Amino acid sequence: MTRVDEVAYRDAYARETDALVLDVSTADAAPLVVLDTTLFYPGGGGQPADRGAILRTSDGRSWVVRAARRMGGEIVHELEPPEDGELPAAGDRVRIDLDWARRYALMRTHTALHALCGVVWRDYGAQVTGGNMEPGAGRMDFEFETMSGDLVGEIEAKVNDELHAARDVRVNVLPRAEAFAIPDLIRTKVNLLPEDIAEIRTIEIVGLDLQADGGTHVANTREVGGIHVTGYESKGRINKRIRLELVDPA
């Protein structure tokens, strides 16, 4: 069981918090720090890990957190190696300062991709075969045999209609049996959820989409703004890729 309070999974809007350093390791190429509380999303499901900084409360010394990842059941923070070699120590009190602009862009992007997935599943019955994102842009692969400019334009318009409908986005955690009783909860071609997970986190765009998902999202689709499809391509006989970028809210 993790020792760490992983705030991002329940409050994606938290930007700063205090924490206690539990452990520091220098065995890897970059120093790794475990905190008793973290705001950092460790990456997964196509969403990159967060970045930011930690500041020691006693003297204001700061370290850049260039990535986070899950290791041994806990989230570890990968520091940019400091030039002077000084690192935080177990027992230090620190302040976490998340790179909020980047996180918020990823939240908006992730919700936009779920809206895309929801529209494609609802109107075309196509499952997801892959996906990835960066702040403000992303791509998803679907089980389409054919794709055209007209079809992509139609999909873009439908996704924007859904985003502009200002739909609430809800996070829930359900017992595994209850979650898997929901039809079509898993939209990917392959179920990637480990069998030993007892609880399933879900993301619902109310009235459009409900999926198992571990990432961070905005609270309402109006925060996304809109999308613009920047390209599409074939990645196989029944595997087509749609690329998009965000359009900022008016």
Other beta carbons within 10 angstroms of residue 74's beta carbon come to 18
What is d(CA 181, CA 37) in angstroms, rounded to the nearest whole number? 33
178: pLDDT confidence band, cut at 50, 70 and 90? confident
The class that CATH gives domain 5-98 is: mainly beta
pLDDT at 233 over 70: yes
Percent of the chain, pLDDT > 90? 82
Element (DSSP H or E) covering residue 171: strand 169-175
pLDDT at 225 over 60: yes
pLDDT at 245: 98
Least confidently predicted of 3-7, 151-155, 177-181:
177-181
- How far does Cα 220 stand from its chain's mean position? 15
User: For residue 33, what are the β-bridge partners?
Assistant: 24, 77
Question: Quick one: tokens of 109?
Answer: 């992007």
Mean pLDDT of the chain: 93
Averaged over 32-48, what is the pLDDT?
A: 96
Question: Quick one: tokens of 210?
Answer: 């409900």
Alpha helices for the chain (secondary structure H): 100-124, 149-164, 176-180
Angle at the Cα of 219 (from 224 to 189), degrees rounded to 5? 75
pTM above 0.85, yes or no: yes
pLDDT at 45: 86
Question: What secondary structure letter does DSSP report for 158?
Answer: H
153: pLDDT confidence band, cut at 50, 70 and 90? very high
1: pLDDT confidence band, cut at 50, 70 and 90? very low
Predicted confidence (pLDDT) per residue in 212-222, tens digit:
899 999 999 99
Predicted confidence (pLDDT) per residue in 55-83, tens digit:
999 999 999 999 999 998 899 999 999 99
**CATH topology for the 103-247 domain:** Threonyl-tRNA Synthetase; Chain A, domain 2 (3.30.980)
CA separation, residue 232 to residues 45, 47, 159, 161, 170 (Å): 21, 20, 15, 20, 30
Phi, psi (rounded to 5 degrees) for 19: -155, 165
Q: For the chain, give every residue range classified as CATH 3.30.980.10.
A: 103-247
Q: For the chain, give every residue range classified as CATH 2.40.30.130.
A: 5-98
Question: Quick one: tokens of 45?
Answer: 């499901």
Question: Quick one: tokens of 122?
Answer: 């609802």
Averaged over 102-129, what is the pLDDT?
A: 97
CA separation, residue 247 to residues 137, 230, 235 (Å): 10, 11, 26
